Structure 1
C-alpha cells in the first residue's frame, strides 16, 4: 500500500507514529482507568487515540514489508520483521480496553458510571479494568520497544563509524 512518502520509504516515517502513539495511548489508558477526573476530561478522545494507534500499526507493517523487499536480507532484519508482526494484537487489545474504559464509565447501567459511588461489584469491575489495562499497556509498550530496538539494530548496526568524520569547518 505505502511505498514512499516524499521520496523516503514510508516505513521510516510511519514508524514514528507508532513509537509515539502506542506508548502515549498506554499511558493515557492507565491514567484514565485510575484517575476518574482525567477520564472525564479526556472522554471519547481515549478510544479515538487508541484507534489511530491501532490503524497505524498495520500501515507501518505493510510499509515495512515493502521496504523489506528492497534492502539486503540479514538475520537482524528477519528478527525485526518477525517481532513487527507481534504488535497488532497488543495494539488491538489496547484499543478494546480503551473503548471498554470509556463505555463502562459512560453507560448509565454500569456500576462504574460517572457520578455513581463505587461499591460491591463495581469495585471488582474497577480492579479488573485496572489490572487488564496495566497488563495491556505494559505489553504494548514493551513490544513497541523491542520492535524499535530490533529495527534500529537492523538499520544501523555496523553502519557508522565510532569516531566522527571530519567535515571541514563545522561548529560542534
Structure 2
C-alpha cells in the first residue's frame, strides 16, 4: 500500500487529486494539508466528499508530512514546491509536483516565464511526468514534474504523429482551451 500525502489539498488541483487518490485501491491517503482549512474535516470543506474522505486538513509541517507519507504530492502555486523539494528528497520521499517548478530541465526557461528558481540542482533529476510517453523514467524517479493541461493536450496527440514521421515539427500550430 502506497502512503500518500497531498500538500495543498483544498485547492482546485489538490481537491481533485484527493478524490482520485482516495478511490485508488493501492493508495492510502495519510495526510491532506491546507493552510486555509487546517483543523477542518475535508468533507466539511468539500461536502461532496462526505463519507469518502475521512481526514482532517492539517497545517503543513515537514515532519507531519514525512512521518506518515512516502509519496508527497505538491499541489501548490508555482515557487512554493521548490522550497520543499530539497528536504523532502533528503528525507527519502518521492515527490510529484503539480506546479511548473520541476517541468523544465533548464532553469533559464523556467525563469523566463516565472521567477528565479531556487532549487536548480534538482532540475536534471526531475522527470517530466507525461506517463504515456515516459513510463519507465517515471517508475524510477524520485521527483516528477507533472505536466500542465495545455502541454498535455498538445503533446499526447502530436508525439505519435511526429515519431512516425507523419507530421513535420515546423508545420504545427496549437490552440488550446481550458475550462
What's the TM-score, normalizing by structure 2?
A: 0.20
In terms of fraction of residues, the more helix-rich structure is 1
Greater relative contact order (Cα < 8 A, sep 6+): 1
In terms of fraction of residues, the more strand-rich structure is 2
